[in-house]
Amino acid sequence: MSGSHSEGLSYTPGNVKLWESPGTAGGLPRIKLASNEIIAVLNYLLPGFISAWVYYGLTAHSKPSQFERIIQALIFTIFIQFIVNSIHWLSILLGENVLIIGKWTNNVSLGTSVIVALILGLMFARFSNNDWIHAILRDRKFTQETPYPSEWYGVFAKHRTYIVLHLKDERRIYGWAEEWPSHPNNGHFSLAEAEWLKDEGNEDNSIPLEGVDNILIPANEVKFVEFMKLYTEDKQKK
């Protein structure tokens, strides 16, 4: 029956307002977790958060929202728990047939989870910073995507060469890109062996920056970037 009361709670059709306290129209009971339950959930997700922390600390990918971080931590945790359970099973098998090393306790399980989480985060960061897995998948027609966060980052990651920066004030500067920003609107370019370029009609069309080791150029002052071809006589840098 519409508008009836049951155990002191009232629910009416319409928009549900989760922030209202129980017993008011449109309200739902709040879910309350005991402190020990919260700690248990955090302990369960901790290895996943460690993997995500390592991954985002070593890649240029933007950090997602808090909800997406929890989902990613849960996904990492599933992989971690599978690996830890496999290690546990192998440890039991080893202890029964070869050598007893020690007792598998909660502390051992937690320590193993943290170690696996660190390794997993490093592996995913390695895959994200290198294109070889995606290159294989592109060759097999599984995807056309790359692991890089943007085309900007992908081009700089693949081309270690001299570049020409075209600035918004119409100046051009040439140099070896030692560092570059992960995003086109933030950060700076660090150029070595830099030279200001003049118009092509000039006989001497460059001005070397004598005595300058590196020069920083703000990314938000750059209109576009040219990547130069490397020839055998060019100095190879790593």
Closest C-alpha among 214, 236, 99 to residue 160 = 236
Q: What is the pLDDT of residue 32?
A: 58
Helices (H), 59-200: 66-97, 106-129, 132-139, 151-158
> What is the per-residue pLDDT across 154-180, written as a single tens digit (0 to 9) for each?
888 888 889 999 999 989 999 999 999
Q: Amino acid identity of 6?
A: S
Between 57 and 13, whose confidence is greater?
Answer: 57
What integer is the mean pLDDT of 121-141? 91
pTM of the model: 0.67
What is the rounded CA–CA span in Å between residue 87 and residue 85?
5
What is the rounded CA–CA span in Å between residue 34 and residue 22?
19
Q: What are phi and psi of 109, to 5 degrees?
A: -65, -45
The structure tokens listed for 96 are 């029964």
Mean pLDDT taken over the chain? 81
Beta bridge partners of 206: 197
The structure tokens 């100046």 sit at 171
Closest C-alpha among 105, 108, 106, 42 to residue 77 = 42
The structure tokens listed for 32 are 């309350």
What are the residue ranges spanned by the domains of the chain? 35-129, 151-227
The structure tokens 């992960």 sit at 182
Q: Is the pLDDT of residue 232 over 50?
A: no
Cβ neighbors of 148 (< 8 A, separation 6 or more) are 60, 128, 131, 154, 157
Beta bridge partners of 19: none
What is the b/e burial string over 189-206, where b = at least 16 CB atoms within 10 angstroms of the residue's CB?
Answer: bbbbbbbebeeeeeeeee
What integer is the mean pLDDT of 78-86? 94
Assigned CATH class of 151-227 = mainly beta
What is the rounded CA–CA span in Å between residue 73 and residue 54?
12
